[in-house]
Structure 1
Amino acid sequence: MVSPHLKSLSDLEAGDLGVVRQLRGGHEFTGRLAAMGFTPGVEISLARNDGRGPILVIARGTRVALGRGEAARILVELVAKSVDPDQAREMSAAAMPGDKPLVVALAGQPNAGKSTVFNLLTGLSQHVGNWPGKTVEQKIGFHHAERITLKLVDLPGTYSLTANSLEERIARDFILREQPDLVVVIANAASLDRHLYLLSELLALPAPVVLGLNMMDVAEQQGIQIDARALETALGLPVVPMVASRAQGVRELVQVIEKVASQQPRPAPNRPEIRRDHKAVLEQVRYLLAGHVPAPYPPDWVALKLLEGDAEITKMIHARVDAAAWEPVHNILKAHEDAVLAIAGGRYAWIERIVRAAVTRPRIGQITLTERLDRAATHPVWGMLILLGILGTAFGLTFSVGVPLQRSLDAYVVQAFAGWAHTALSGAPWWLSGLLVDGIWAGAGMVLTFVPVLAIFFAVLGVLEDTGYMARAAYVTDRYMHLMGLHGKSFLPLCLGLGCNVPGVLCTRTIESPRARLLTILLAPLVPCAARLAVLAVLAPIFFGSSAIWAALGVLTLNLLLLVGLGYGLHELVLGGEHVAFIMELPLYHRPNGRTIGLSVWQHLLEFVKKAGTIIVAMSALIWLLSYLPTGDFQTGYLAHAGRWLTPLGNLLGLDWRMFVALLTSVVAKENTLATLSILYPNATAEGGLTAALAHAITPAAALAFLVIQMTFIPCVATVAAIKQETRSWKWTLFSVALMLAASLTIGMLVYRVGLLF
């Protein structure tokens, strides 16, 4: 029964000030909220609530976006109604108080600058792969200091170690099982209160810890003064002030790492304790677990995890003890389900003591740059207009810079080399020269021409992420993405797909939820890319003349409806109807770091060329062989035979075998549709060109069906390779291909049959 004086957070209005009293939703949800700063007793102020879509809340000095479903499970006591947002922020702020490489784990919450520190220390001396058996990116690099070599492992950015996500599980398992010599926690000095939460959890693990206090310049801009020496004394561990964006403090960090590694015995840090009213409960669990905790897990840490409701640790301990030994532990856990809040409360009390000892807050009434910018960036109308402007700029750069570079590479490198190779191989058998030049080199050339476009997309993505704007884009689009069972974080990958589906698929790695990420990957190829739009722009006037614009708009509308419909249907299949929680920090805005963005672009391009490029070249060679064997004539090749074999299916769509072959060759590259039609239709190269050849070769109903199928047909080889690269699964890759094939033919058939009625 909810107390009548409590209100759901989703029911509050912008400017309202309240105190969190209850969290509903189970251990996992409660633990995740606690890591973001939401615990009973914390004061919050509502920065934005437009009645639809996510809401924006300020808790412990951090701006957090919450889905309406998540906000509804947070019950608050209203303290002040419709307080001016600046006054609410002020009230909330006033209320808050050698030989072998040394293995160093870099840990930190998102937006702390951890990747910048990693790149500064390792440069290009790093390996990017995946954690064993996982799809989460793994980065390992080396730094050679004067007296020691550091092997740096960049752990996934995570808010806590409660294993609510794959990233959290990887981070804590590495620290526990691999036992690094040292853990460096990179914290954002401008949001120190919340970033110390991860440190409070890491102090319960055995590895020694150093705190890298990054973004000191941003903290100063916010009017926050931090006494690093006082902080070091309060924590009982080394603290290194840093401005990683300007490479300040990096050398000092290495020196401190060397000192701590050689220090014996190591001083014990000041660790947080559970809230006083639950200390006896924790002691009981510790006593009952004696002798049952396997190495390398610390018994005290396991006891805390059991009280927090950690499903993985609970399952492990339950499996190791008999029923008689487990029953008293289970009874205690069941009787104290609120222990997760007692643990989080103890950590935040510890954080408040630390902060009071070392941090001076800005004067009351000071409005930050982030707050000023967010008034527009998170507005339901102005926010969308700003986002559309940014995306328009990105596409403008792509078409004004990337596409000309792509064409230049194709003309002056790919085609020039192909012409030279044909001449050099003029005496070789036709199949050998064709395979090497038109098959293998054509595929390699395609990979090369992708580089300028991908570089621009990755650079734009890097700037948006590094400045902190990416979270705002997800926030303002969340309400629209719910039409497909997704949330705002899926918007950018789908939007990038308008330029090219490949970066759209690769961009999904910014989505934390594995299932939501998979669903977005499956939907990304349904977005009409620039190549398909180009084919539509050429063929629509040929088929429909002056009515081409309406035909094209109709095709694109069907494409959008198919995207939304399949998204909603796949939501039930992939997510099982599961609600994808939308809880996301809105970080402070700050200046992008060119070095970090450049290294990120280089790594992503290298990864694409090495992995996706291999598949593209192989598939290009295979398609060429199928096209020209056994006679060397395209019209009598295996692919042409396959097209003729599909004639019965073509009759259902009003298409002959040549149209089907054009669809099949578009699998290599969507632009191939036009080239194939030019080859297969007689007189296509004569006066009038393809327009005259196709004008009377197909009915309007069949032409419309062909355009619909072309826009939604099997993804190109590059996109298929990207899907395989990101899902690490042939099952889902083939499912994506089969889904688009079935969907395109089905909707094409419906369009043709309906078109015959007019």
Structure 2
Amino acid sequence: MSEKTIALLGQPNSGKSTLFNGLTGSRQHVGNWPGKTVERKDGSFVHKDTTYKIIDLPGTYSLSANSDEEVVTRNYIASGQADVVCILADASQLNRSLFMLADYTGIRVPVVLLLNMMDVAKSQGKHIDTNGIAKSLGIPVVPLVAADKKQYGTFFRMLESIDKNASTLDEKRLAQIYQNTIGAAFDEIKALLPADGIGIYSSTWLTAKLIEQDKLARSLVKETVDAGTYTAIEKKLSDVKDGNLLTGDCKFQWIDKLVNENVTSKKNKLLRSRFDKAATSKRWGKPIAIGMIVLGLICSMVIGFPLMGLFSGLISAISVPLANWLLDIGAAPFLVSLLCNAILTAVSFALQMASYVFGISLVFGLMEDVGYMARISYVFDDTMTKLGLQGKAIMPFLVSFGCNIGGITGTRVIDSWGQRVMTIALSWVVPCASTWGVVGLVSGTFFGNGAVVVVLALFAVAFLHIFITYKVFGRSLNKVEGRTGLIMELPPYHKPHWKSLFGSVFSKMGNVLSRALRIIICISVIFWLLSYSADGNVANSIIYKVGTFIEPVTSLFGLPWQLFIAFVASAMGKEASLGVMASLFNTGSIWAAIEQSATVDTAALSTSMLSVISRPEALAFLFAFFFNMPCLMALTATAQETHSMKWTVRIALYYVLTALIMATIAYHVGLVIF
């Protein structure tokens, strides 16, 4: 069986990921490019005795060397590993989506143009002469609807004949435009370069990149030509002003000419709807976006929560009969407890997490599929820019109010890996729905009517926390010189592709579940070992002994050992801290309390805590709890989305440390006030 490698290249929202998922299904791997914090997606599929390996290159708008994503893309194309590069363009808005193709012109690696979203273009009344475009470009042009696998036939036929038809882009037209627009300077610089170009790059392509002040192109030329020639090139370049604007104008002239010759459209088909005008307006855009996100969050919960309850109830129904059966056959109580408490509970946590991700992915994936998600990013871009982020970061923040897992998984719409991790680190501070159950109980119990003031103080410190977190992590993840504003197209609204959408959702749910099972089971078993006692009495567990031993240290944070253990347990799940407090203040089983935290007798717990805990200690706990890492499942989701255990651990340790620092400050402030 022969093997071929395909590289997918295109702008964000061009449909690369949809095609990649449609071709590879579950046969894909996600990681990082060696030495880079840029996501790498590899996959494979088999067609007519040929195995095709697909590399989904980072979505970028050009092949300039302004970001890690663009550098990775250029280096891979230059490596010669790909047999053919497939460039995707949005057929519904070719004038803007062909810029990547224009920037590729002059790279001598076989290329195919895939015109995606042909169904949307047709609904707009556009007729695209693909044969005419192919003749003008000198390369194969394939019409495509990436979301509909039934329409992959033309794409597969192209692959079957790629050995015969693979060709490079004809650069003559674009070269002529460069000469006409830029003038003699272009010809003079080009004449100083090797006539055959350098490696895969033609002299025309290199000249354009030199004029754009592309750092990698300059370095390549400097290494190739002699010192005198390079000095002459630099002198010529110094006479060219606004190089990026000049070459960009040339590329758009080339695109406009190509489109005008090969695309016809009926008039009045592209009028914007009243809703879209409101959704992108300065006055109504943000309120509509917030309303849509809240509605989406509610729908996500309506879909996800029943599944979470189903899996939770199913595991609970299995654990008791299984435990009884194991005991009947003589299994050691230690092993029975490990399997039926720690492992099955961890499986329950993982299934519940995957269920919530399913709801979030389905609802917000639908919003993205129909074209609305891009509008949310657009209207919030000015707001998020103040934090050095893109408008796309707003959705994860708002969704995190329902559940941090949804916010974390929602960051995958952000193009830059660094900004994605930065957004995750900031979204951890957003209090999820479960947080308020504990905050409400503890603040109401100890501060009565003053609980409102405590909650407002938590929010005020949360804003300060976001600012500090940004300053701490921004130096590494979001350097000033590497920031880019939001560059994106607003795709036209269109009908959802349900089959493709559900395929993507189930694939994402499966990936989340597999990673969640590994991480959650590991941590759950460790916590179970610490809290296990043969007689079920907490006083005989390791965690009790450790807690009482370290209380001189935890008291420095203003936390009695019971509250410190509850703080640790909140990392398993915010609501679990209630069960642990109920167990510790009533000498019950800690692990059983974690499993059954929702059934805690809050009235009895409040009475027990009032007799043992002081107000300053309660205030310290609230701050430690509120700013602790969200939960074990959020930690798993972070590892899933960042593909970096180093950054996941770094963010988690940062939150634990800052939570304890804030608890210490709150405790001493409480001593003064109370």
- TM-score bucket of the superposed structures, by smaller chain: 0.7 to 0.9
- Residues 398 and 258 (structure 1), Cα distance of their counterparts in 2 relative to 1, 3 Å cut: closer
Number of the residue aligned with 1:753: 668
Q: Which amino acid in the other structure matches residue 604 of structure 2?
A: G
User: CA deviation digits over 1:461-515, x for unaligned, max 9?
Assistant: 3123222222221222234334544332211122222232233223223222333
Number of the residue aligned with 2:633: 718
Tell me whether 1:310 sits opposite 2:227 in the alignment: no
Separation of aligned partners in 1, 2:659 and 2:618: 14
Number of the residue aligned with 1:433: 336
Number of the residue aligned with 2:597: none
Number of the residue aligned with 1:447: 350
- Residues 204 and 659 (structure 1), Cα distance of their counterparts in 2 relative to 1, 3 Å cut: same
For residues 65-76 of structure 1, the aligned pairs below 5 Å read none
Q: 1:618 deviation in Å?
A: 1.0
Number of the residue aligned with 1:12: none
For residues 116-515 of structure 1, the aligned pairs below 5 Å read 116-146=18-48, 149-247=51-149, 249-263=151-165, 271-273=173-175, 274-276=178-180, 278=182, 280-290=184-194, 295=199, 297-298=201-202, 300-319=204-223, 323-363=227-267, 366=268, 368=270, 370=272, 372-412=274-314, 414-426=315-327, 427-482=330-385, 484-515=387-418
Report SS of the residue matched to 1:604. helix
- Residues 145 and 516 (structure 1), Cα distance of their counterparts in 2 relative to 1, 3 Å cut: closer
Tell me whether 1:111 sits opposite 2:13 in the alignment: yes
Number of the residue aligned with 1:589: 493
Please tell me whether the aligned partners of residues 289 and 299 of structure 1 are also in contact (alpha carbons under 8 angstroms).
yes
Of the three residues 592, 607, 613, the one matched with 1:698 is 613
Of the three residues 520, 530, 552, the one matched with 2:433 is 530
Q: 1:625 deviation in Å?
A: 1.7
Separation of aligned partners in 2, 1:485 and 1:203: 33
Number of the residue aligned with 2:623: 708
Q: Which amino acid in the other structure matches residue 464 of structure 1?
A: M
- Residues 240 and 296 (structure 1), Cα distance of their counterparts in 2 relative to 1, 3 Å cut: closer
Number of the residue aligned with 1:664: 568
Report SS of the residue matched to 1:104. strand
Separation of aligned partners in 1, 2:601 and 2:377: 51
Please tell me whether the aligned partners of residues 468 and 590 of structure 1 are also in contact (alpha carbons under 8 angstroms).
yes
Separation of aligned partners in 2, 1:105 and 1:643: 55
Q: 1:675 deviation in Å?
A: 1.4
Report SS of the residue matched to 2:367. helix
Sequence identity of aligned pairs in percent?
33
Q: 1:455 deviation in Å?
A: 0.6
Tell me whether 1:542 sits opposite 2:422 in the alignment: no
Separation of aligned partners in 2, 1:640 and 1:155: 51
- Residues 280 and 123 (structure 1), Cα distance of their counterparts in 2 relative to 1, 3 Å cut: same
Report SS of the residue matched to 1:101. strand
User: CA deviation digits over 1:687-730, x for unaligned, max 9?
Assistant: 95323222332233332332222111134333233333444445
Q: 1:526 deviation in Å?
A: 1.0
For residues 21-40 of structure 1, the aligned pairs below 5 Å read none
Report SS of the residue matched to 1:111. coil
Number of the residue aligned with 2:526: 622
Please tell me whether the aligned partners of residues 398 and 407 of structure 2 are also in contact (alpha carbons under 8 angstroms).
yes
Separation of aligned partners in 1, 2:510 and 2:384: 31
Q: 1:317 deviation in Å?
A: 3.8
User: CA deviation digits over 1:671-698, x for unaligned, max 9?
Assistant: 2211111111138889953232223322
Please tell me whether the aligned partners of residues 128 and 603 of structure 1 are also in contact (alpha carbons under 8 angstroms).
no
Tell me whether 1:644 sits opposite 2:548 in the alignment: yes
Q: 1:583 deviation in Å?
A: 2.8
Q: 1:389 deviation in Å?
A: 1.9
Please tell me whether the aligned partners of residues 22 and 147 of structure 2 are also in contact (alpha carbons under 8 angstroms).
no
- Residues 380 and 636 (structure 1), Cα distance of their counterparts in 2 relative to 1, 3 Å cut: farther
Please tell me whether the aligned partners of residues 140 and 166 of structure 2 are also in contact (alpha carbons under 8 angstroms).
no
Tell me whether 1:682 sits opposite 2:586 in the alignment: yes
Please tell me whether the aligned partners of residues 624 and 663 of structure 2 are also in contact (alpha carbons under 8 angstroms).
yes
Separation of aligned partners in 2, 1:382 and 1:545: 39
Report SS of the residue matched to 1:157. coil
Number of the residue aligned with 1:72: none
Q: Which amino acid in the other structure matches residue 13 of structure 2?
A: N
Q: 1:286 deviation in Å?
A: 4.6
Please tell me whether the aligned partners of residues 391 and 486 of structure 2 are also in contact (alpha carbons under 8 angstroms).
no
- Residues 173 and 737 (structure 1), Cα distance of their counterparts in 2 relative to 1, 3 Å cut: same
Please tell me whether the aligned partners of residues 446 and 615 of structure 2 are also in contact (alpha carbons under 8 angstroms).
yes
Please tell me whether the aligned partners of residues 42 and 53 of structure 2 are also in contact (alpha carbons under 8 angstroms).
yes
Q: 1:416 deviation in Å?
A: 2.4
- Residues 513 and 114 (structure 1), Cα distance of their counterparts in 2 relative to 1, 3 Å cut: closer
- Residues 633 and 290 (structure 1), Cα distance of their counterparts in 2 relative to 1, 3 Å cut: farther
Separation of aligned partners in 2, 1:524 and 1:409: 27
User: CA deviation digits over 1:318-337, x for unaligned, max 9?
Assistant: 35566445333333333335
Separation of aligned partners in 1, 2:669 and 2:493: 52
Separation of aligned partners in 2, 1:579 and 1:314: 19
Give the stretch that moved more between structures: 119-128 or 432-441: 119-128
Number of the residue aligned with 2:658: 743
Please tell me whether the aligned partners of residues 24 and 43 of structure 2 are also in contact (alpha carbons under 8 angstroms).
yes
Calculate the TM-score normalised by the size of structure 2: 0.87
Separation of aligned partners in 2, 1:332 and 1:267: 27
Separation of aligned partners in 2, 1:250 and 1:650: 62
Tell me whether 1:567 sits opposite 2:470 in the alignment: yes
Any unmatched runs of 5+ in structure 2? 589-599
Q: 1:541 deviation in Å?
A: 3.6
Q: 1:659 deviation in Å?
A: 0.9
- Residues 115 and 487 (structure 1), Cα distance of their counterparts in 2 relative to 1, 3 Å cut: closer
Number of the residue aligned with 2:595: none
Number of the residue aligned with 1:84: none
- Residues 733 and 633 (structure 1), Cα distance of their counterparts in 2 relative to 1, 3 Å cut: same
- Residues 742 and 430 (structure 1), Cα distance of their counterparts in 2 relative to 1, 3 Å cut: same
Separation of aligned partners in 2, 1:528 and 1:387: 20
Q: 1:263 deviation in Å?
A: 3.8
Q: Which amino acid in the other structure matches residue 394 of structure 2?
A: F
Give the stretch that moved more between structures: 587-596 or 646-655: 646-655
Q: 1:557 deviation in Å?
A: 4.5
Please tell me whether the aligned partners of residues 566 and 581 of structure 2 are also in contact (alpha carbons under 8 angstroms).
yes
Separation of aligned partners in 1, 2:51 and 2:124: 37
Q: 1:632 deviation in Å?
A: 7.0
Report SS of the residue matched to 1:526. coil
Judging by fraction of residues, say which structure has more helix.
2
Please tell me whether the aligned partners of residues 502 and 719 of structure 1 are also in contact (alpha carbons under 8 angstroms).
yes
Number of the residue aligned with 1:78: none
CA-atom RMSD, angstroms?
Answer: 3.3
Separation of aligned partners in 2, 1:489 and 1:736: 21
Q: How many residues align?
A: 657
Separation of aligned partners in 1, 2:462 and 2:169: 63
Report SS of the residue matched to 1:275. helix
Please tell me whether the aligned partners of residues 292 and 317 of structure 1 are also in contact (alpha carbons under 8 angstroms).
no
Q: Which amino acid in the other structure matches residue 561 of structure 2?
A: W
Give the stretch that moved more between structures: 673-682 or 222-231: 222-231
